[in-house]
Amino acid sequence: MKRTFFYLLLLVISAISMPYSVQSQSVEAISTLSNDSMAIGQQLIYELNLKAPEGFEVEWPIWPDTLPGQIEVLSQSKVEKIPVDKSGNIQLKQKVVITSFDAGRKSISAIKLRFKPKGDTSHFTAESNLVSFAVITMAVDTAQAFKPIIGPVREPITFMEVLPWILSAIVLGLIIFGIVWFIKRRRKSLPMIKAFAKPQTPPHVIALEKLEELRYQKLWQTGQVKEYYTAMTDIVRWYIEEQFKVNAVEMTTEEILDGIRPLKINIDAVNKLSEVLQLADFVKFAKANPGPLENDLGLNHLVDFVKESHLVLKSVHEPELQQEEIKQEEAL
């Protein structure tokens, strides 16, 4: 009875351990080299392959910069996973580029790969095979004479090599031009950006508008005769000063007439101005009281004077205005 129980226990243990034994035996690690020899400083490709059942978790090795035997690791690819084959196995592989500058026989030891079934805590190990290669130096014929050292070979300069210098020169030129332009503008006290001047209303237009406004105020009709003539003369004095640059605001009637005489204004217009200014002096200083016809006619005379006199300015000052415009354009 005891012997029978012992045999049954062995049978159960064997059944439990059999899948892991089979799985561990089905895992295979293989190392290969692209060549078995190389000249010193050349490169070889070391490839590590692992075949394992699908679902296994594998701990892949981390490559250092240098392997034992003065073998340098230049680069390494990502671990590539090949789809499952007919037997239900997957294959993992990685390529590592190596070189060596030390002549002799080199070898890469077996790589140990740890793996386990997914969800299990037990780890198994698979070892790859050892690979070796020869690093060969260049043969030197000592019987030959030493050859002279050849200097660097000059390659023709391409357009793409010159292009950055051309672009740099253009940018530098633009910067210098901008600095010079800025300094000149500052010295001339000119604005950085030329603003469009808002057209100003000509003095004769303003004077005519103010005279019409005065007409509609009806000052003399309400007994404000002195205020009416004062307003009229103030408007025409301002107009003469703005239009002809004659300081009419501070002048007497005679001085105003003398000041505009060189402008060659129509004599009828000047006479109308003279009549209004003299009548205004009588109203303001002698307390004269003109009639309705004279009051209305005085404003009409000033309107006629403004309309006829402002045309004289263009013909008299046109050469000066042209010279001023030329100077402004040269300054810009």
| b/e code 52-84 from CB counts within 10 Å (16+ = b) | bbeebebeeeebeeebeeebeeeeeeeeeeeee
Mean pLDDT confidence for 149-163: 82
Please report which confidence band the pLDDT of residue 95 belongs to, taking 50, 70 and 90 as the band edges. very high
Element (H, E) at 107: strand 104-108
pTM above 0.85, yes or no: no
Show Cβ contacts of residue 284 under 8 Å, excluding neighbours closer than 6 positions. Answer: 226, 229, 230
Please provide the CATH number assigned to the domain covering 17-136. 2.60.40.10
**Which pLDDT belongs to residue 175?**
94
**Which pLDDT belongs to residue 313?**
60
Q: Beta strand 89-99 with 71-76: parallel, antiparallel or unpaired?
A: antiparallel
Check whether 323 has a pLDDT greater than 90. Answer: no
Q: Beta strand 37-39 with 131-136: parallel, antiparallel or unpaired?
A: parallel
Check whether 61 has a pLDDT greater than 60. Answer: yes
Annotated domain spans of the chain = 17-136, 203-314
Please report which confidence band the pLDDT of residue 303 belongs to, taking 50, 70 and 90 as the band edges. very high
